[in-house]
Chain A
Amino acid sequence: MFTPYRTIQQVSIITYEIEEPMYQIVSAQFLAENIKKIEIEAPRIAKKRKAGQFVMIRVGETGERIPLTIAGSDPEKGTITIIVQGMGKSTRELNRKEAGDTIHDIVGPLGTPSHIENFGTAVSIGGGVGTAIAYPTAVALKEAGNNVITINGARSKDLVILEKEMAAVSDEAYITTDDGSYGFHGFVTQKLQELIDSGKKIDLVLAIGPIPMMRAVAEVTRPYNIKTVVSLNPIMVDGTGMCGGCRVTVNNETKFACVDGPEFDAHQVDFKNLMDRNKLYLPEEKHSTDAFAHKCHMHKQA
């Protein structure tokens, strides 16, 4: 049985106490400024989830449903891990949660799992918090016998996350920072180009991060015909195929990222359309984020 919804029947008088479904946070710690790793009790999701899949989370009762990729799970302990960067109201609210706090709703695992096989040499690229999503797939690629190269990019040294974890599953691990404060000075695409130029045979590139980064990676690999996969992050509501809000254009066809994806062939994705569609609620998002920041500020002062 699913544990969260329990019905307790008392003998003699028939009264039923229905508990609200709530999901307990087991541990929570910041990996970098504004990027938090949160481990949540969700036994069934922990048991079923595969690399590349996501959950929909609703932080509180009046919250929106937001998709977050599952970074890892512990089926025995019955927990899943998500890594969240505080961007808008919902993610910031989530990032204020500590061990012992609860989350109102989690549903998953959703989306089609990553296609994993022994490709040969696979390069897994994570940009910023995208590394959290690239990581589980890198693990799965390694387990499938691939020669795994990881490129872990961040703006600067203090924003690098999962360095040790990525290194542990990599045959070659690289860090890049935009400002050169750590590792390779430059973008992940420059590092990737370097690897290609060195004559290395690359069979698969997986790139997860901000849309401009994924688009740039697609352009690097396109001339060499290297199979390249990206994980897309459109706005979603239900995450189960019911609303079509997450539709993306792939090979001139409309696809639903929540059921057909979220991973797609990078060379066929219309990144411009994705970027445009993600701007749909900018004024509303700004309003909510500002109001939330103001509330937190007042709270601190009080």
Chain B
Amino acid sequence: MDAQHITTKERLAIPRQEMPAQLPEVRIHNFNEVHLGYTPELARQEALRCIQCKDPVCIKGCPVNIKIDQFIKLIAEGNFLGAAKKIKEDNVLPAICGRVCPQEDQCEKMCILTKKHESVAIGNLERFAADYERETGNVELPSVKSSTAKKVAVIGSGPAGLSCANDLIQLGHAVTVFEALHELGGVLVYGIPEFRLPKEIVKAEIEGLKQLGVVFVTNAVAGRSITVDELLKEEHFDAVFIGVGAGLPWFMGILGENLLGVYSANEFLTRVNLMKSYQFPENDTPVFNCKGKNVAVFGGGNTAMDAVRTAKRLGAEHAYIVYRRSKAEMPARLEELHHAEKEGIEFMLLMNPVEFIGNDQQWLTGVKCLKMELGEPDDSGRRRPVPIKDSEFILPIDMAVISIGNGSNPLIKQTTPDIEVSKRDTIVVDMNTMATSKENVYAGGDIVTGGATVILAMGAGRTAAAAIHEKLMGVSAK
């Protein structure tokens, strides 16, 4: 079938194309990416399912308003490079977002097909176009406007910082990105595992920015190695963008939380992803030896899924998700939930941990839980879990990973008191410009919203870049 002569009826008759993936029994023994990507044939077939609505509501579901109908049409026509370019007009990190966006809550949720059929696999197509462009060596560097002689500092090399740096360098500003860790990419490298987002893809995106002239400085902790005021006054940056993420893990505050074998998801994932402890002893950093052990991860978000599937890959006998609500309330991407189920992750739903129990050597041996039932909806609109009386039981576990979210790192607040923060210590900004209460200082991503998504952080970085340009040049970026 070709894209020109296909009726809507014919389009609707095509089933949603599954993306080939490693088999669950194979992938639980490796850290390679789960999905293998669409072939060109599968991508075209899927793209043909799009009925090219006059009013493409999917675009409204996208936080950065990618021209979804247009790029899908280009894929259907076989113009894959054109599709990649079209996406990049609005999204600078499509290979990453195609993999990690919660599409079922955004573009795909709005897709008109969902009324009677399954939505178009917009995320899979976005990923395909970006991968095709990169893998065929066709990534073209965008043109960079002539130098404005303005300098902008970007703090943090995660999604917010990278997208902000990308837009600013193209507008002709000199951009320096400061990263606290020894590797670039922020949560994309320390948080999201290789099997969900290959680090090579993140490296390729960063390499592109380097080629455009963005300068990256690793091992620079904002608030310690360098402060916002020093960047403005001593280093003479004209503006600063803060995209440091939400980097202070919450614990549950229950008894036994400091026993040996209790980790935050950040620590567990950082050891495995950033420090590559799954390759111990070739890499020096060790991590809890999960082989044949029982591991429980507490939480229901993407990070919890990442952690539990990592434990499984490290050889855990039983890998549990312990969550106090039901599956319907889990904030994780649907796809990650499905993958986890297929990989043999055991879901202990409607259970609330109340105490960790250890042996006389202080090693964790179990967790005392209460069974819950769902009551009335709470402030978040989700039904509030209520404990069931006398339902206490002990789940024997050797390792616990706590994945209930992150607070804000206090370093910026402590060292730059004139930036206004909320009660939750997130930075307060004007959402139209991402400007903070401090002159020429902007912020975006999780440090503003609290733990959210890659795409929202990316959108915030771009909004800030446009506002910074306008402020520095006195003209609009568009």
Contacts and interface: CB of A to CB of B under 8 A. Distances in A.
B232 to A, nearest CB: 14
Interface string B204-243: 0000001101011111110011100000000100000000
A16 B211 contact: yes
Contacts of B226: 44
Mostly, the A contact residues are mixed
Contact of A1 (B235, B247, B289): B235
Contact of A277 (B260, B264, B284): B260
Contact of B247 (A18, A104, A242): A242
Interface residues on B, range: 35 or more
Contacts of A4: 217, 219
Contacts of A183: none
B409 interface: yes
Nearest to A242: B247
Given A240-B221, A242-B248, A284-B280, A58 B210 contact: no
Contact of B224 (A240, A276, A291): A240
A65 B275 contact: yes
A142 interface: no
Interface in A9-55: 9, 14, 16, 18, 21, 44-45, 48
**B contact patch SS:** loop
Contacts of A63: 284
A280 interface: yes
Nearest to A272: B362
A291 B281 contact: yes
B251 interface: yes
Interface residues of A, number: 53
Interface string A231-258: 0000001101111110111000010100
A243 B219 contact: no
Interface stretch (B11-19, B84-92, B176-184): B176-184
Contacts of B213: 7, 9, 16
Interface stretch (A71-79, A107-115, A117-125, A144-152): A107-115
A281 interface: yes
Contact of B266 (A58, A244, A291): A244
A193 interface: no
Nearest to A248: B258
A62 B271 contact: no
Interface string B281-314: 1111110110000000000000000000000000
Contacts of A254: 251, 253, 257-258
Contacts of B361: 276
Contact of A243 (B215, B249, B362): B249
Given A16-B210, A107-B219, A109-B224, A280 B260 contact: yes
B267 interface: yes
A18 B210 contact: yes
Contacts of B477: none
Interface in A271-302: 273, 276-277, 279-281, 283-285, 287-288, 291
Contacts of B253: 254
Given A16-B210, A48-B225, A276-B362, A62 B248 contact: no
A16 B266 CA distance: 34
B278 interface: no
B103 interface: no
Interface centre among A2, A109, A259, A291 (most CB of B within 10 A): A2
Contact of B263 (A58, A104, A245, A259): A245
A203 interface: no
Contact of A247 (B258, B286, B362, B411): B258
Contacts of B331: none
Contacts of B218: 5, 21, 105
B260 A279 contact: yes
B375 interface: no
B35 to A, nearest CB: 28
B284 A90 contact: yes
A98 interface: no
Contacts of A105: 182, 218-219
B246 to A, nearest CB: 10
22 contacts: A4-B219, A5-B216, A14-B211, A62-B283, A62-B284, A107-B221, A108-B225, A109-B225, A237-B271, A240-B180, A240-B247, A240-B409, A241-B248, A241-B411, A242-B266, A242-B270, A244-B248, A244-B251, A245-B263, A256-B248, A276-B260, A276-B362
7 nearest interchain CB pairs? A284-B286, A243-B267, A107-B219, A276-B362, A64-B285, A244-B264, A105-B182
Interface of B: 176, 180-182, 190, 210-211, 213, 215-221, 224-226, 235, 247-249, 251, 253, 257-258, 260, 263-264, 266-267, 270-271, 275-276, 280-286, 288-289, 361-362, 409-411
